[in-house]
Every structure is written in structure tokens, then in C-alpha cells.
Amino acid sequence: MNVLPKFLTATEARQQLATGTLSCEALVRQCFARIDEREMVIDAWQFLGREAAIAQAQALDKSSSKGLLHGIPMGVKDIIDVAGMPTRNGSMIFADAHKASMDAASVAMARMAGAIPFGKTVTTELAGFTPGRTRNPRNLEHTPGGSSSGSAAAVADGHVPLAIGTQTSGSVIRPAAYCGVFGFKPSFGLIPRGGVKLQSDTLDTVGVFARSVDDLALWYAAMTGARATFLDQPSHQNSHQNSPQNSRSLRINIITRLLDHADMEMGVTVAEASDVLSTAGVKIRDIKLPAIFDDAEADQRLIQLSEMARHYAWEHAEYRDLLSSQLANALDEGARISKEAYRQAMQRSDVLRKQADNLFGDCDAWLMPAAPGGAPKGLDATGDPVFNRLPTLLHQPAINVPHYQTKAGLPLGLQLVGMRHQDEKLLNVARQVQALLKAHQDVY
């Protein structure tokens, strides 16, 4: 069952703004009204720039220039700078942080395309492992995931149509899965990271949360200058692209490794999705990655911890008493990793990326769980990124498709993974997969 709520998507908003049935200011005020109604419950925002957002919306309503994200409200993870807003990085160390003097590159590009940054969304402590205060809109007793917890929750709860975050292990795809929204981690290096509080030079990637694949493509096109084929048409006008006849050209490989980490409901979900897609004509194949990939998750963790210890050396040395014990211990562990162990992990990952490119062959995408199951109960942890470490290490683009749910009503996400630098292709595959799963749901 589709778990997405009926909130206005970025694509729908763009169409209404283009026809004049909605103004930028009216959309902004509607979103702030939703935030006022729900923020006390969800706690998705670290800082809101209400006056600046309304002023930008009013200026856009008077402007003849209309970029791809014209008038679209957007949340920004609070490790990413927004001009005139404080960047607190989810840490007491930066509680009195000065306001940023300029936008991060990703925010600047979105703003130039017409997006309206609403404010800073809650992140875990220094985008690490210690949860922030945000609750999951699907069930307040369950984690929203992390580290981009506020961004995922803000989109899921209808505060904004788009929000940006970052992923170092699973910080876009996992919260998207837990909160039941679409999440997109592009190929590593595709989106510039200037103005982002870095944790890992090798892994950190700017990504986005949205309510449809069309929204992901809209953001991607605004960020890269690409021209996605379905930007100008509403989904129902593209049904020919998602027909069973068209889907027969799709080839999707189910990655079977690590499936023993999935719970029963997630295992059944992957099997059901495989059957639905196969019946629709998609060529499905189960593949087991070669033994050379056996250490990939461990290497991802080693690289992340080692680089995190270096990037956060000042915070670790000068403000250890303001760090959670969980983060302090992680930084201790990262600092103990030898230069040789780090070098070997980096060399192995270079080899794996080339191997992964070769393994794709004529395959259009890999399919695997986005998370082991639905969002775990409790707010003292953000869940296990076991299914996200591999695509992150391999620098591959990944998308969470939020179609299924548990018996208790929590979202279950499917993760589609593409070949490096084949982001547009993955977006089109995700759109077809989502349409085929929905068509099966509508029939049954």
C-alpha cells in the first residue's frame, strides 16, 4: 500500500504557480501554517526564517524570471549554511553560532532556481550517531532515522515539499524510508559540498527528500542543468512510459547479500515487489556479489570513522565535555585507526567501484531494502544503515521508493541503486518502478 499523504508535491506546486492558480506567497504561508500546527509535535526545525521566506516569495511573485524551483519552499539540514541563518550542526558546541554570511553552494543553486529556504532542519549531533529531538510523523514513538532526521520528517509531515540533507553512510535513504518519502542520494561529487560541515571527504553527499520521483528529478535538473524527460508533464500524461510493454526493457538485479539483516516484513516486501515487477515484464535476476565485496561495509565504516576523527579534531580536543559519549567514543575509535589500515580500505574501495561498474553490464538498477524494516520503536537510536553503506562506499546514486508498509502502518522502503554517474537513468527507472507498483496496487 502506498503510504504517501496527499500533500502538494513540488511538481504540483510548480504547475499551479505557473498557471497562476497559486502564488508563491500563498504557498509559503500555507506551509508555515502547517508548521505552526505540527511543529510542537514533530520538532523538525532548528531554525525558521519566516520573514525572509515571505519576503523572497513576494519578490518572486513580482519577478518575470521563473526557474525550475520557482516558489518552492525548501528545508535545509542544519550542517548546511544558509545566509542569514545560524548553523548549529546539532551540537551544543555551536549553540551560539553566528549567522552564516553566505549560502552553501547547494543552497545557492537552489535559490537561483527559485527555491525558498525556510530554515534549518534538525540533524543528529554533528550529523553522527546520536539522535536529535525529531519524531517520526508516521508514529511519534518511532525514530525518523538520521542523520537528516528533520529534513525527512518535514517533508513527510507536509511542512515543505522539498528538503536537502547529506549522506555519509545512510543519512538520506534510511530516514526517507522510515518517514515514507522519496529520498535521492546522487552520485558522489555530483552536488558541490561547499558550505557543508564535512564529516568525510570520501563519502559525504548532498541529497534531497521529496514526495514524488518527479520532484527528485526537478531538484536534480535544477542542481545540474540536466533536462529530465518528464519535467514538463504531469505523471498521468506519461502513462505510456510506464506501461508493461515499456517495462519489458527494464533489467533489475536483486542484491541478495545482507538480506539476512532484513526483518520478515521487509523480506516479504522485496519478494512481493520482485513478483509484481516480473509479472509486469521487468527482467528480474537475483545476484550474489563476488567475495571481493565481503568487507565493503566494514571498510565504509572504517573510512567514515577515520575521516570523521580528522574533520572533528577541534571539537574532539577542545569540547569533548560537550559531546555525547556515543560520539566521543566514535571519535576515539576513529583516531585509533592506523594510516595503513585507512590506506588499505581506500585502495579496496577504489577496486570495488570499478568492479561494481563492470557488474552492472546491461542491468538498469540494483534493488535492495532501504532499511532492515520499518522504523524501530524509540528515539534513542536512528536505525541500522547496513543496506546503505555499500552504495555510499561505491559512490552510486540511490533512491528510496516508499510504496509498502508494515502491518502496523509504518513505511517500508525499497532502495534502487544505479551505476555511478547514471543518475538520470536511475531517476527514470525509479519512476517506472513506482508506476508499476502503483498500477498493481490499483488493480488489487
Distance CA 115, CA 296 (A): 37
Q: How many CA atoms lie within 13 A of 344 on its CB side?
A: 7
Distance CA 48, CA 70 (A): 20
pLDDT tens-digit series, residues 93-107: 999 999 999 999 999
Please give the average per-residue pLDDT across 78-101, as a whole number. 97
Cβ distance 112 to 118 under 8 Å? no
pLDDT tens-digit series, residues 238-296: 444 444 445 558 999 999 999 999 999 999 999 999 999 999 999 999 999 999 999 99
Query: What pairing do the DSSP bridges indicate for beta strands 73-77 and 116-121?
Result: parallel
Distance CA 19, CA 393 (A): 43
pLDDT on residue 70: 98
Residue type at 179? C
Strands of 57-168 (E only): list them.
73-77, 116-121, 162-167
Name the residue among 1, 43, 47, 49 with its Cα closest to residue 28. Answer: 49
pLDDT tens-digit series, residues 153-200: 999 999 999 999 999 999 999 999 999 999 999 999 999 999 999 999
pLDDT tens-digit series, residues 294-337: 999 999 999 999 999 999 999 999 999 999 999 999 999 999 99
pLDDT band at residue 406 using 50, 70 and 90 as cut-offs: very high
Note the pTM of the prediction, 2 decimals.
Answer: 0.95
Q: Which whole-number Å values give the CA distances from 387 to 33, 46, 281, in the listed order?
A: 36, 28, 26
pLDDT on residue 234: 46
Please give the average per-residue pLDDT across 374-402, as a whole number. 98
Collapsed DSSP state (helix, strand, coil) of residue 423? helix
Please give the average per-residue pLDDT across 342-351, as a whole number. 98
pLDDT on residue 247: 56
147 cis-preceded (ω within 30 degrees of 0)? yes
pLDDT on residue 7: 87
Using the 8-state DSSP alphabet, how is residue 249 labeled? T
Q: How many CA atoms lie within 13 A of 280 on its CB side?
A: 27
Give me 2's grid cell: 502506498
The backbone torsions φ and ψ at residue 7, rounded to the nearest 5 degrees and listed phi first, read -105, 160
